[in-house]
Structure 1
């Protein structure tokens, strides 16, 4: 009869108790029989080591092809995937079963463990408080966020302290750029109230793209000047080596998952405006920082003190206003007041706005536009800038290059389409331009849009006379008020009376 099975655990227990007890006592404590105890007392190996190796239970399906066909292919193309080898072997040998895929993958993996090329080693680092901060950008398109029901194409600038896990996130409307990095990094440092010794970025690869040598050198100089302002030593990970920024790359996923969960809990991915969405992101990041509050408080004393002020987080460009009433910058046409035609303006480019100066005087702020995804130009148009000229040439509206961007609200565009469909072009353009002029003169853009929507919904055309009567009196019909100024002799008499009173 086959002896009863004894586990390795029982054997170890028996050998332990055998050191201080008789065979019988040790066997009882290990829950084995006396006969088994005598048998294993002289054994030098565990029961599992006495088992004979399991032999092959079926013929090797790769025996005739692995060494002759698979191995030469692995040597010739070390990076080839196992599934590609499997497809090639199935094509060459149709008699092979589809079930050999896992067998082939295991065999290739074993072969590579013995004969494969050396792989890159990841060296884990010991981090010190206050030493290293990381910056990177991550795409947020997969979350499907919308602003007023319109998709928001944006990135998230992400800063993180390696030791404590402090995070800061900033919504970026354009692509990766020095401006976005400078604005986001400075916001993070001032929120943190300190700066680390070293700052690491991902080489600004997207910002460097399509730049000539001089522009790249200028961008490098500006990045180094930004870090020097905060007494940080700039470092960059090697291009295309994501794990060198691993402390923030992995954090991207955690932060995006937290945002995704918060959007699901919120019940909608739509926000009324960009300010609301940014506040939503700030709240999530604040909650994540609160979870690391003790470590963040412990790291703050090791950070460097901030300078007295921020440094520049914008690009400055000189532009000339053309006769079209605007200027082109980075493939975007911007309108400005027509009085500036022919003037050279100094423009500061921020991530989401343009500040326009003439000399040292700030003139206006414009929302920043972006070139279209296909590389074509786009426009940022304010109808207030051109309406006075358009009233003189209303037919220019029909073929205007930036007509779609001229209408401030969808109701105005809808009214124009209905007018063109039902009236002659000249009359339709005249009415559409006068509607814009009415909104400009009376300051009733939103109210007029609501009234246009009501009129169009009942199938009527806009009546200019009725709309002018609704939205206040015509400035030309206001009465002229004449003010009769008092004579200066009266003031002379009053001054003389006051002097007489003082003398008395």
Structure 2
């Protein structure tokens, strides 16, 4: 084609036709002129071989300093970043243009490719079905999840089968711990319907931190016993080497991206309660598993059968209920009914709850609390446990340590602040205690909160007499129930009838 240079392909094709044809015919077949063919005859080199090497069009700004100063720096500190080398050169040579940074980075990259240290190699593995399951925890702070308007400080326990990609995620409210691992792992295995032959974790570094040697040994033995219960061999990757858990570290990012997208499509990151958020996570994970359904079904038949029952996924300890109407466990104070004062309770500590037992009798379940970020003690308070004592000593409310946690809803706290502004401390405390007592005795906590919120909006103090009258049942509306007892002769007739039928 006129105006276009010939390329190596045309040159090779021309030389092929030239073996059996003349220059003019061979040139016509290839698509260039006869004059070009005769020039090729005089110089049979390929066009790429005729190009002269490209020379620099401007002076090299690093010619005097790279070998003399940059290379010694790279040899002395092999891990130094190129940007740090650039800043050091700019400090030593202020006359260097700022645009030399990219040139320096390319030059360092090329030097390291020839003279640098050997780098670690990632060896891809063949995953045998039914062999390996992996567990890890991942932070969820960046998603901005809230429950009932309150930010949820949580993370996810993540389990995955390396071969088929089966996944399970469990919302964890505390940190990485054996309890969280045991509960999440057992939930995953029972949802899967089998157990792999090997289970790998990342050494539970957060769970081991700041523990004494005896506590570490105890935690290790409990983890080994958990794996033995399911017939799994426990293994751990080397600390700080994340790519050894690559089969789950990378899916962390994919799972969080899917959750982020689902939150955006949902239109809100606020959930009514923790249960709704957990259902939301389960739905996302189940969609992932549905896409890998055939591979999961194929691997499921190679898994080990599950034992008859789960093993314990809690920590057990003893606590003493003090005269304050509660007990302190791991820097958190919990209230219990005052009739338990002086008793020792057995506590089963889960990730999100506490189960209280008196001997072998189950008493109640409490929400698990967490200490403050600054190390201050936390409080889990139920006003129903102490309201009867507060009615006898209402002034105790004024300077109560856990006063703000005593109020079940925000409207009650704001009402107490308003009462303290308008009334004397004694009157304010007595009125507030009566309101809490009303909420407890008439089981109208939510309805009373709505009335108090309306009074606050209208800057009106609550009227105790009117509220008691409003939430007290009207005797005229109570149904009259008449129970008519059966005659004993009727029972005798039934017995006689049964004897006749047997005869």
Q: What TM-score do the two structures reach when normalised by structure 1?
A: 0.91
Give the drift of 1:127. 1.2
Is residue 141 from structure 1 mapped to residue 141 from structure 2 by the alignment?
Answer: yes
Going from structure 1 to structure 2, the CA distance change for 1:207 and 1:470 (only over 3 Å counts) comes to same
Shift of 1:10: 2.1
- Tell me how far apart the structure 2 counterparts of residues 418 and 265 of structure 1 sit (CA, whole Å): 41
**1:228 correspondence with 2:228:** yes
Q: Check if 1:164 corresponds to 2:164.
A: yes
Q: How does 1:100-179 map to 2 (within 5 A)?
A: 100-179=100-179
| Structure 1 counterpart of 2:260 | 260
Q: Distance in 2 between matches of 1:43 and 1:215?
A: 83
Find the aligned partners of 1:366 and 1:416 in 2 and give their Cα distance.
26
- 1:438-486 CA-partner distances (Å, limit 9, x unpaired): 11111111111111112222221111111111111599xxx9x9x9x99
Show the counterpart of 1:393. Answer: 393
Native 8 Å contact 1:24 1:34 kept in 2: yes
State the match for 1:402 in structure 2: 402
Whether contact under 8 Å (1:196, 1:303) holds in the other structure is: yes
Alignment of 1:335-374 (within 5 A): 335-374=335-374
Change (3 A) 1:195 1:35: farther
Give the Cα separation in 1 of the matches to 2:412 and 2:146.
23
| CA shift for structure 1 position 46 | 3.8
Q: Distance in 2 between matches of 1:10 and 1:72?
A: 48
Matched residues in 2 for 1:140 and 1:40: separation? 68
Structure 1 distance, partners of 2:268, 2:260, is 11
Hey, what's the Cα distance between the residues in 2 that align with 1:36 and 1:338? 107
CA offsets 1:195-214 (integer angstroms, 9 cap, x no match) = 11111111101111111111
Q: 1:68 to 1:38 in 2, by over 3 A?
A: same
1:383 aligned residue: 383
Displacement, 1:32?
3.6
**Aligned counterparts of 2:162 and 2:5: Cα–Cα separation in 1:** 54
SS at match of 2:211: coil
| Higher mean C-alpha displacement, 157-166 vs 422-431 | 157-166
Q: Alpha-carbon deviations, 1:387-439, whole Å to 9, x = none?
A: 11111111110110000100011111111111111100011001111111111
- How has the CA–CA distance of structure 1 residues 283 and 32 changed in structure 2, closer, same or farther, with 3 Å as cutoff? same
Q: What are the Cα deviations for residues 139-173 of structure 1, in whole angstroms up to 9, with x where unaligned?
A: 11101111111111110111111111111111111
3-state SS of paired residue (1:467): helix
Measure the CA separation in 1 of the matches of 2:249 and 2:161.
Answer: 13
Mapping of residues 243-282 of structure 1, within 5 Å: 243-282=243-282
Contact kept in structure 2, 1:354 and 1:365, CA below 8 Å: yes
Which moved further from structure 2: 366-375 or 27-36? 27-36
| Matching residue of 2:466 | 466
Q: Tell me how far apart the structure 2 counterparts of residues 16 and 196 of structure 1 sit (CA, whole Å).
A: 62
Q: Conserved in 2, the CA contact under 8 Å of 1:468 and 1:474? A: no
**Residue 39 and residue 293 in structure 1: after superposition, are their counterparts in 2 closer, same or farther (change >3 A)?**
farther
CA distance in 1, matches of 2:306, 2:490: 63
State the Cα distance separating 1:61 from its structure 2 match. 0.7
Alpha-carbon separation, structure 2, partners of 1:138 and 1:397: 41
Residue of structure 1 equivalent to 2:287: 287
Shift of 1:28: 3.7
Moved more, 320-329 or 114-123: 114-123
Task: Tell me how far 1:82 sits from its aligned partner.
Answer: 0.8
Secondary structure of 1:163's aligned partner: coil
**1:68 paired residue number:** 68
Comparing 203-212 with 457-466, greater Cα deviation is found at 457-466
Please list every run of 5 or more consecutive structure 2 residues that lacks an aligned counterpart in the other structure: none
Pairing 1:426-465 to 2, within 5 Å after superposition: 426-465=426-465
The CA distance in 2 between the partners of 1:439 and 1:5, in whole Å, is 93
- The TM-score normalised by the length of structure 2 is 0.91
Once residues 257 and 341 of structure 1 are traced to their aligned partners in structure 2, the CA distance between those partners, rounded to angstroms, is: 49
Aligned-residue CA RMSD (Å)? 2.9
Partner-residue secondary structure (3-state), 2:298:
helix
State how far apart, in whole Å, the 1-side matches of 2:48 and 2:116 are: 32
CA drift of 1:17 comes to 5.3
Alpha-carbon distance in structure 2 between the residues aligned to 1:271 and 1:97: 54
* 1:12 Cα deviation after fit: 3.8
